[in-house]
Amino acid sequence: MPPEDPLKPRSSKPSRRKTKPVKKAHRIMARTHLSHARLMKIIDSYSRWMTVAEGAKASGVSHVTVGRIYNLIRKRLMDADIFESDQRYRNRRYDVDNEGEEGWFFEEEYRATLEKIVGRYRAIDPGNLALYEAEAVFRTTRPFDTPEDVKAYIMAALKAGPLNEKPEQIALWEAYMYEFQRRNIDKHIAMMRKVGFGSIVTDVLERHHERERNAK
């Protein structure tokens, strides 16, 4: 067999080496130059109720961009019914129960929270005021929610699609039911057990699970 000519070009054959698929980062924003890490830093900043200036400093992103993303987060949480509008919140005051009493309404606390939020933002106008009001309602009525809770709500709502695109309605409903309401139930159960109603909670949960088993 004659020796191979070292100057002869080798035929190119397709490589049989398998390449691993590249994992796509969770799509927080579409059509953006920002990295996933920076976007997560902005979400973390908002979850801690940091101002736009504080969020910009923490993420290394401009004030304008952070403010825009903050508003997109507020809008998405409103779309998922995790944030509720000022009007919807006020309507509770006129919900009359069987005893003729008015529904709960934290007027003083709400106004103080709203002024605290609105007073720190210069980019508020009639077009986006409702977003700030919705945040004030949430922070007034849910002071027990931790930054981890708020972040979990945001990430669940993101399953409906990037913040700057139209969300998928089914996914918004799932975010509300399976993340927001689940955490609500867990908190109520923990509170009842803390004040000595653990046996009642266990009994109710067991009856619920039994009904589920019988329904199958």
pLDDT at 97 over 50: no
* Per-residue pLDDT, 13: 55
Q: Report pLDDT digits (tens) over 161-186.
A: 999 999 999 888 888 887 887 777 77
Least confident of 49-63, 94-108, 149-163: 94-108
Distance CA 183, CA 109 (A): 24
- What predicted TM-score, i.e. pTM, was given to this entire model? 0.71
Domain extents in the chain: 36-215
* Per-residue pLDDT, 71: 94
* Per-residue pLDDT, 168: 93
Q: Which residues contact 13 (CB under 8 A, 6 or more apart)?
A: none
Distance CA 80, CA 62 (A): 27
What one-character-per-residue DSSP string does 137-184 give?
HHHHH-TT--HHHHHHHHHHHGGG--TTSPPPHHHHHHHIIIIIIHHH
The torsion of the CA quartet 135, 140, 145, 149, rounded to 10 degrees, works out to: -10
Tell me the C-alpha to C-alpha distance, in Å, between residue 171 and each of 50, 102, 151, 163.
27, 34, 17, 13
The rounded percent of the chain whose pLDDT value lies above 70 is 68
Q: Report pLDDT digits (tens) over 37-92.
A: 999 999 999 999 999 999 999 999 999 999 999 999 999 999 999 999 888 887 76
pLDDT at 112 over 90: no
Which of 85, 79, 42 is closest to 64 using CA atoms? 42
Q: Place 12 in a pLDDT band, splitting at 50, 70 and 90.
A: low
